[in-house]
Structure 1
């Protein structure tokens, strides 16, 4: 997994300093990973903004509660299957992603069957991207 081939497109801003500190920690470890923040709105307007910010060669990964969750190892293996392709992970706003955007996604991913604030979901996604990188590199960060 190459972090420079991934972007996170997130609706809303991080308001909690401790969440931002965690995100910054993992961004230092995942050189090249970029986060695009979009303004909160309705799911339809957010979908338009997300689609406008997608690059033509990116595959859309929609984070959503209804998708099947993966273990960290299965997540790493799925990332490995995409090889050198570019991925855009989308974290929606408080009302989630529009049905149309979900339907466009190449991959629908759930971080948990539990509900978390979107700020936490962003931090958890970044941590799982780092964990996946260490799993694929055979480094000892993951202790399952």
Structure 2
């Protein structure tokens, strides 16, 4: 069974250093699992916060299937240490063929969308720019695979 991780974020991705980092970590993750970063263009500048969140949700949901184990990144979600995240990710991969992580835009994620997630996960107690959060998530996924496979990268 082939496994896949999708990471969804409202796009487009604006910062070049983020694009470079995404390319770097995507290449490093590729030997371990099929990874797809989805950043559809979402135009919401002229909308109020509630409508922006609804529009982002509507667009991102187009890329989520019933097969996806949906995890939404949220400041109130579970926080793992690197070893714990590796164990968590290994368990997910053993039990689900498709995992979808969703990162909200500048205003976060709608409460409705959060309720549809299987789990909420937090990368930090800090509030992070959504593009930075995407890069941090990819590094954490790569680190998890190196821990799972016993590849020297993570240090305790």
CA contact (8 A) 1:40 1:93 kept: no
Uncovered stretches (5+) of structure 1, i.e. residues with no partner: none
2:89 is equivalent to residue 79 of structure 1: yes
How far has the Cα of 1:68 moved from its partner?
2.5
CA distance in 2, matches of 1:117, 1:51: 21
Residue 62 of structure 2 is matched in structure 1 by 52
Tell me if structure 2 keeps the 8 A contact 1:11–1:40.
Answer: no
Question: Which structure's CA Rg is the greater one?
Answer: 2
**TM-score normalized by the length of structure 2:** 0.86
TM-score (norm 1): 0.92
Tell me if structure 1 keeps the 8 A contact 2:57–2:110. yes
Give yes or no for contact 1:5–1:84 (8 Å, CA) kept in 2: no
Contact 2:77 2:119 in 1 (8 A): no
Gaps of 5+ in 2: 45-51
Q: CA RMSD in A?
A: 1.4
Q: Report how many residues are paired.
A: 142
Q: 1:142 — aligned with what?
A: 154
Please identify runs of 4+ aligned residues in structure 1 that moved more than 6 A: none
